[in-house]
Amino acid sequence: MAIAIAFYGRGGQGAVTAANLLVKAAYKTGKFPYIMAFPVFGPERRGAPVGAFARISNQEIFDRDKIHNPDIIVIMDPSIFKTANPTGTLKKGGIMIVNSSEDASTLREKYGIPSGTKIGIVDIVKICFEIKLLIDDNTPIFNTPVLGALASVLPQIPLDTMYSAIKEHFPNPRVAELNAEGARRAHDALVTS
């Protein structure tokens, strides 16, 4: 079994870190001994579009190319739909997770997401402000809550395993716990349609 995940966001939102933590969690399950995470971006600056990709598999991975038909697409910032709309790349039967406060029908209409596409929606910005998961007073940390939302749609990677990968990433126990709480809240708040 191989699963391909594409993350789309903006520089500074943590798409690359999310992909790296996801493959670490997948490996920790023992079900996915073959993992790969890699970014795709142009000249870097905070706020520029960024893509990150993850492959997890129980068989050796030979494909080193960008993921063209992911099983899961994670949209960390809905403004990405306007510049690099990846909607048409989602594999049939896949799911798109979107960080948004809008409902599925509004997102479909606003961004041209086909009616047959399964969408999972979670308001990560709201969660981050509620628990103060912020880089500074105004900048939410998207990457760890996204992992909680992914655990909702990837039963092969339990939330506890995501917690473990998150907590290992942060040496400060208070910061690690706060990021794990963001993941838990996003996991519980994800609504699919």
Which pLDDT tens digit goes with each residue over 14-33? Answer: 999 999 999 999 999 999 99
- What pLDDT, on a 0 to 100 scale, did the predictor assign at position 118? 95
pLDDT bin (cut points 50, 70, 90) of residue 36 is very high
Query: What's the mean pLDDT in 127-147?
Result: 94
Q: Higher model confidence: residue 84 or residue 149?
A: 149
- What pLDDT, on a 0 to 100 scale, did the predictor assign at position 43? 61
Asked whether the beta carbons of 123 and 101 are under 8 A apart, the reply is: yes
Domains and CATH numbers, the chain: 2-190 (3.40.920.10)
- What pLDDT, on a 0 to 100 scale, did the predictor assign at position 44? 59
